[in-house]
Chains A and B, each alone.
Chain A
Amino acid sequence: MAAKQEILEGAMAVAHAVARCRPEVVAAYPITPQTHISEELSQIVADGELDAEFVKVESEFGAASVCLGASATGARAYTATSSQGLMLMGEVLWNIAGMRLPIVLACANRSVSAPLSIWCDHQDAESVRDCGVLQLYAEDSQEACDQHVIAFRVAEDRRVLLPVMVNLDGFLLTHVFEPTELPDQALCDAFLPPYDAALKLDPANPATFGAFTEPDKCMEGRWMIHDAALRSLSVIEEVSAEFAKVFGRPSGGLLEEYRSQDAETILIAKGSICGTIKDVIDQVRDEGKKVGLVRIKTYRPWPKDALLKALASAKQVAVIERGASFGAGGVMTPEVKETLYDAGKVIPVSGYCVQLGGREVPPDGFREIIDRTSKGQRQKAYEYFRLRTEILPDLVPTK
């Protein structure tokens, strides 16, 4: 079959990929930079190309709640959001995960107010990383499309039954035009059969959803979420391998090892920034230095074993983040350290916040990080890279 690549805006491509997954209920609320996904889905429905109920909700909280109700009734449900919208639906995401409903949502990663910013960082998605919603991260438009197909399959797998969030960088992926091949509809239908809920709201088989549990049971109910998330690691690998076979692309999987198999200095990062990092790694490799990138594609569940394996040759690691935990340090950085520490591999791990709110780091920035990391020094704290101190005021106001 001839590959049909089109030049598509990322958000539009995602909308069409989602449409081919045949969601039955779509509920989405506008927020930059996700909006083109919802608008295009809305147009696809309006043109009669997708048989779905498109609910024009009054907020993201409403969007997630409508998806919850629809999914509980046995319908395949989808929403898309960013930043403030993700925050607003946060309460519902915990509820969806706890009720084990296989909703898929896109997060067009965007900084969280205040100060207000419409540009990209990962703090939005990272702030909900604990609730049991699985998280995939795309490097490019193609992956963003493909990961949606994988997401529906994984979410609805009876060994998993958890919501899945597909993350794509706001503007950097949503608004950029790239050659993309949309998943073939027939292949999609074969790969992703209609959602068949094991338990649902159905007068023929009544059940009670959302009961309250007392302390003697609640921990077990919540542990089951953790257990399912851990089990999803192998399901994601399985589904991704099948996706690669059927569609011919390696878009799924837990992580990507880019020239890292024999690297002594390894960078760890996720999202579109990895495109730039790969270019810099190629340059550094041309100089004969053993440097590589491990790109996190599945962030939740945390791919501990796969990561350890990928870091086998590492003597020092730099974690490149678009996030932070204010008052502590990084977000992925401690997770990497924990993984290495638990395995007794106590090598230097440096954590870098390379941007919050969309100011991009040019290639020479990654070069600097690679050079500094390669020296093998132990970094003292999570570093806010190239912080513009010249625009900072007196941080402790004098009377």
Chain B
Amino acid sequence: MKFDYSDRILVPGYTSCLGCGEALAMRIVAQTAGKDTIFTNCTGCSEIFTSRYPTSSWAAPWIHSLFENSAAVATGVAAALKHKGKLDSTKVIAMGGDGGTADIGLQCLSGAFERGDDLLYVCYDNEAYMNTGIQRSGMTPLGAATTTSPAGKASWGNSRPKKDLPMIMAAHNPPYVAVTSMGYYREIPRIVKKALEMRGPRFIQIHCTCPLGWRSEPAQSAEIARLAFETGCYPLYEIIDGQMTPHKAPKDGWKPVEIYLKPQGRFRHLFRAADGVQQIARVQALAAANIRKYYGDEAVPDFAREAEKKVAETAAATA
């Protein structure tokens, strides 16, 4: 079979890991956007694996500046295009990982959204600073082991829930906010197209499995990402002009979080110790809260309510 990459926006030969969720998501976003796009990227895995000078995987114009300014660089690109009368024909897409977006890059991102700058920002959320070796970010979920929130005799891993970045962006009242997942790779093109039909600041967050950082099987990357949603750990939704539409609930019902946590080495410590059960209950309680928030109290399954009760009892006992 003959393979033709001549109309690809992201061409192969990039040095991402086997089963990289970010590579998959970025390939789909780039291809959906098309060639009349200028991309900005922040420092991180995707920047490294697509731009090893002089080889580049980008067939469209692309710029990487610093870790924390993908949004601001995109603001500048959009301003220049606007001045040259080209902003109607050329799309501007700023991209970054969770660290470069929610932590160090939040200032520039918020500024762009507050100003109403005409750009789409895509956050590839693999839940840690993966490029520098799996350090904890503001988007690392509760209980995950990273190199700066390791599990140990005195630690259960990351002690904080994820920063709710999409809601922070929604608070800027942009025309479009979406949370999707590379586990639902068929849905990403529709979401990107929807965003690109609009003007003003738009935000898409894509949950991306990182087999290296999450210590999971590369082949399972898509399945694991889907489990994140199906357990309530990672809510997916669209907000269009302030109207929230959650992703359809899983047709086989909400699954217990253990099914999502078990295939990932970053949660392994929760299953080893006997009192890891308590920590898993905390994760389940967070998932229960998500399900309640987006699907109503009736949607919360009994096993999730049990976990919430357990967590409340423990909190009361230790108060």
Contacts and interface: CB of A to CB of B under 8 A. Distances in A.
Contacts of A239: none
A210 B51 contact: yes
B60 A66 contact: no
Interface string A7-51: 000000000000000001101000000000000000000000001
A24 B83 contact: yes
**Chain B contact residues (Cβ within 8 angstroms of A): what range?**
35 or more
Nearest to B40: A69
Given A55-B115, A58-B114, A211-B56, A69 B62 contact: no
A25 B107 contact: no
Interface stretch (A71-79, A275-283, A333-341): A71-79
A327 interface: no
B75 A55 contact: yes
A326 interface: no
A6 interface: no
A377 B234 CA distance: 74
Report which residue of B62, B65, B84, B107 has the largest number of chain A beta carbons within 10 angstroms of its beta carbon: B65
A196 interface: no
A145 to B, nearest CB: 24
Interface stretch (A157-165, A168-176, A199-207): A199-207
B129 to A, nearest CB: 17
B80 A206 contact: no
Most buried by B among A27, A200, A211: A211
Contacts of B82: 53
Contacts of A205: 61
B146 to A, nearest CB: 24
B312 to A, nearest CB: 40
Contacts of B255: none
A25 B80 contact: yes
Interface string A205-231: 111111111100100000000000000
A203 B63 contact: no
A25 B83 contact: yes
B107 A59 contact: yes
B268 interface: no
Interface in B104-153: 107-108, 110-111, 114-115
B69 interface: yes
Interface string B60-74: 111111101100111
A53 B65 contact: no
Nearest to B77: A69
Contacts of B84: 24, 73-75
Nearest to A210: B64
B72 A201 contact: no
B5 interface: no
B246 interface: no
A203 B72 contact: no
B204 to A, nearest CB: 20
Given A69-B40, A73-B77, A62 B108 contact: yes
Contact of B79 (A66, A92, A95): A66
B212 interface: no
Interface centre among B51, B72, B107 (most CB of A within 10 A): B72
Interface stretch (B19-27, B31-39, B183-191, B221-229): B31-39
B9 to A, nearest CB: 9
Contacts of B107: 58-59, 61-62
Contact of A95 (B35, B54, B62, B66): B66
Given A57-B111, A59-B107, A75-B80, A201 B63 contact: yes
B243 to A, nearest CB: 28
Interface string A367-380: 00000000000000
B81 interface: yes
Interface of A: 24-25, 27, 51-53, 55-59, 61-62, 65-75, 77, 91-92, 95, 99, 200-203, 205-214, 217
Interface of B: 35-38, 40, 47-48, 51-54, 56, 58-66, 68-69, 72-84, 90, 107-108, 110-111, 114-115
4 closest A-B pairs by CB: A69-B76, A58-B111, A65-B72, A75-B80
28 contacts: A53-B79, A61-B68, A61-B108, A62-B108, A65-B65, A66-B75, A66-B76, A67-B76, A68-B76, A69-B63, A69-B65, A69-B72, A69-B74, A69-B75, A69-B78, A70-B77, A73-B38, A73-B81, A74-B84, A75-B83, A201-B62, A202-B61, A206-B61, A208-B62, A209-B61, A210-B47, A211-B53, A211-B54
